[in-house]
Amino acid sequence: MLNRLFEKHFKLTEHGTDVKTEVIAGITTFLTMAYIIFINPSILSKSGMDYGAVFVATCLAAAIGCLVMGIYANYPIAQAPGMGLNVFFTYSVVLGMGYSWETALGAVFLSGFTFFLLSIFRIREWIINSIPMSLRLGIAAGIGLFLGMIALKNGGIIVQHPATYVALGDMTQPAALYSLAGFFVITALSYLRVTGAVMIGILGVTVVAIILGHNTFGGLVSMPPSIMPTLLKLDLAGAFDVAMLSVIFAFLFVDLFDTSGTLIGVAHRGGLLDKDGKLPRIGRAMMADSTASMAGAALGTSTTTSYVESTAGIASGGRTGLTAVVVAILFLLSLFFAPLAGSVPAYATAGALLYIAVLMAGSLAHVDWNDPTEAAPVLVAALAMPLTFSIAEGIALGFISFVAIKTLSGRFRDLNPAIVILALLFAAKFLMFN
């Protein structure tokens, strides 16, 4: 009876799959992205949020996103709080700009709501097509560099310096050694195509640190921590501040392109695109993403987005939303492993962050470096993000650079009204609100 229900809703036979294959695919996808249940609380707790509550919010937001994507959109694409956006939330919006984490959650909710409206009214294609590919590549790389800088900082590999701003830390300290060891192991295992390489690296460093007396073991399983410290604590009124517009835009912009790129890339890998190369039901997939972001903000976590790690499940045969439903169930089961998550030190996740930075910075390979009007704005956006400690500022400087350089070069044909308007708004923001 259950098999018939799955067949009727997910159309397994039509997609050339079965329940067993979908379950295996779901487990595979979960193992490749489960690192987020360790990394996200570690990052967001630095903004003042309760670690245990963020852990629960992370698992629940991921489960909600996966369920909506699986049941409503019927795609084998998993969701969870996104890397890069959680760093932006903590280090730029809260620690950098001085907003409370409650206000930052409000901005996440508003960006998710805006994303939802764009999906309903089908404006997303116009926005996506209006942004030059070179800037998209630069922003992805910039987020990678930003993650890399956070990773090196968390591992004590780079430290503050009054004269040079940053300098090499004490490489004899356990944190630096563990961070590098984790990075080396994760990179090697990923090259060898070991499933769950990132999670293996995080847990491996944690276990070794405990054995050598550099870390304490808090336990394996327990009842989930209370989510009350973050539940419905978002401050929508504070997020309506004019200076927060660039923050909301940054959350929206990164999520929009991250989700769009992931959906198309993963769907292409699984042969889910139609004969015209388009993704059927993309509106439903986008609404699943935006709904999960709004739910996550209400629960107490940063923006939820689609995960490129879903390709691991697709490579294992996943073709329908049942794969995503299996991932959702596993995230719910993870709620009972809070003590294990709490035992993971910052340096154990630093190596994972550095490896993810490598993946994201790889987009620079696709930039046309022979055209300085394309390459220069890319480099400005990519460098500005880690050096200003803000994804929003990097995006803004990238847009302004692109429009200014193209205009002065007489390349007006490369510009469109949307990017010109956005560049002018960013310039006005710098002049009037900085």
Chunked into runs of 10 residues, the chain (434 residues) has average pLDDT values of: 73 81 87 87 93 94 94 90 87 88 94 86 69 80 83 86 85 92 92 85 90 85 91 90 81 76 68 68 82 93 86 79 93 90 83 84 87 93 85 84 93 86 82 65
Give the pLDDT of residue 70. Answer: 92
Give the pLDDT of residue 352. Answer: 83
* Distant-in-sequence, close-in-space partners of 158: CB < 8 Å, separation ≥ 6: 149, 152, 166, 167, 168, 169
Give the pLDDT of residue 148. Answer: 86
Q: What is the pTM of this model?
A: 0.80
**Taking a C-beta distance cutoff of 8 angstroms, is the pair 36, 207 a contact?**
no
Give the pLDDT of residue 283. Answer: 77
Query: To 10 degrees, the CA torsion angle through 311, 313, 314, 320?
Result: -120
How many residues are recorded in the chain? 434
Q: For residue 192, which phi and psi values (nearest 5 degrees)? A: -85, 5
Cα-Cα end-to-end distance for the chain: 62
Give the pLDDT of residue 340. Answer: 83
Nearest to 277 by CA among 290, 289, 288, 267: 267
Give the pLDDT of residue 55. Answer: 94
Q: Which residue has the tokens 């984490």?
A: 101
Q: Please give the structure tokens belonging to residue 431.
A: 């002049």
Give the pLDDT of residue 34. Answer: 85
Pairing of strands 165-168, 158-161: antiparallel
Give the pLDDT of residue 190. Answer: 87
Give the pLDDT of residue 129. Answer: 65
